[in-house]
Amino acid sequence: MVTRSQLRYWVGFSIVPQIGPMRLRALLNHFGSPEAAWNADPRELQAAGLDKRSLANLLAARRALDLDREVERLERAGVTILTWDDDAYPARLREIGTPPPVLYVRGSLTPADEWAVAVVGTRRPSAYGLEMTRILAGDLARSQITVVSGLARGIDAEAHHAALAAGGRTIAVLGSGLDCIYPPEHLDLAREIVAHGAVISEYPFGTKPEAGNFPARNRIISGLSLGTLVVEAGETSGALITARFALEQGRETFAVPGSALSRRSSGTNRLVQAGEAKLVTCVQDILEELNLTMLPQQVEMRELMPENEVEAKLLAHLSSEPMHIDELGREVQLPIAEVSSALALMELKGLIHRVGAMSYALARETRVSYRVD
């Protein structure tokens, strides 16, 4: 847990230009804490790997910023600040190659958001694209899956609206500070999302929606999610960047097919043609691929039956590769009857799934949402 005195240094580093996740990780590895890194001698900072430009930016920020005032300003605005060291930091996002060191959050992130699917697409959708977004995002929300998107015009906004209309949760990831909602006409939508989910950003207050910010924020959209659905996207659509991040992060990618004559669908059709995305025509295609067809029952079962030592042992030996129950019993050195009983309950919880006769593998989301220490 990050103390308030430490939190201000995390905020400080998030404000300094040119110090992103990789440079900050190097500083923390060298100095041990953000406070020590913030107050370090310039020569030590250079020894830790800061180049001249980054060092100049940090020294300028140290002179100019009142870190306590920055934290107070965020608190007055109702912003929650999450860092790598916070237990509440999204576990799935923590797994990506460059997770944001700081997340600014308006609204709330909950354990239910572990089951999330990103829905993205073009800013200039067709009537078909909008209708498919309404159907799919709405059905995801009704299946108790959080819909993640980017608050942009077009498909993104429609995905948020559909999730809200279905009574579900939705998360919007910005490419600007939380005080600079973009596009401005989505301010009311952002407020509604805050009441039924969260609006989040890695960028500090005052950050304008510059073009270079949006590709980076797309890694967060996919990083929060079990999978990314591209509804409608041309060859140069930013939604394809999100799909690319999802593939790099080892997450599932889905695409809605479109007309071969439509430029708006050229990108999504190519994803399917290249075998990089599963073709989707209904929400069941997504739920089955992500092993979420019985999510409400799985959630209820997890609440009723918390983890025990036997389950922990089994989870530690299972992977995405199927393992026969006899081999699993030998690995954990437990009677087959006890292993069989535990596996049956774990399957009901959605932690594992059966593959063939008496073989089991981890469900796709188990690795993150049900960690074993």
Highest mean pLDDT among 213-227, 289-303, 327-341: 213-227
Q: Are residues 279 and 311 in the same domain?
A: no
| Cα 174 from chain centroid (whole Å) | 13
C-alpha distances in Å from residue 214, one per residue of 189, 233, 314, 318? 19, 16, 41, 37
Residue 303: predicted pLDDT: 52
Q: Is residue 216 part of a domain?
A: yes
Q: Is residue 81 part of a domain?
A: no
Residue 8 sits in a domain whose CATH number is: 1.10.150.20
For 96-133, the pLDDT digits (tens) are 999 999 999 999 999 889 899 999 999 999 999 999 99
Percent of the chain past pLDDT 70, that is, above it, reads 93
Domain that holds residue 338: 295-369
Q: Is residue 85 part of a domain?
A: no
d(CA 87, CA 223): 17
E strands in 174-258: 197-201, 227-230, 252-255
Residue 222: predicted pLDDT: 98
- Among the three residues 76, 99, 119, which one is the final residue of a domain in this structure? 76
Q: Are residues 37 and 167 in the same domain?
A: no
Q: Are residues 299 and 272 in the same domain?
A: no
Domain count, the chain: 3
Q: Is residue 84 part of a domain?
A: no
Identify the three-state secondary structure at position 237: coil
pTM for this predicted structure: 0.80
CA dihedral 212, 190, 254, 83 (to 10 degrees): 70
Q: Are residues 249 and 361 in the same domain?
A: no
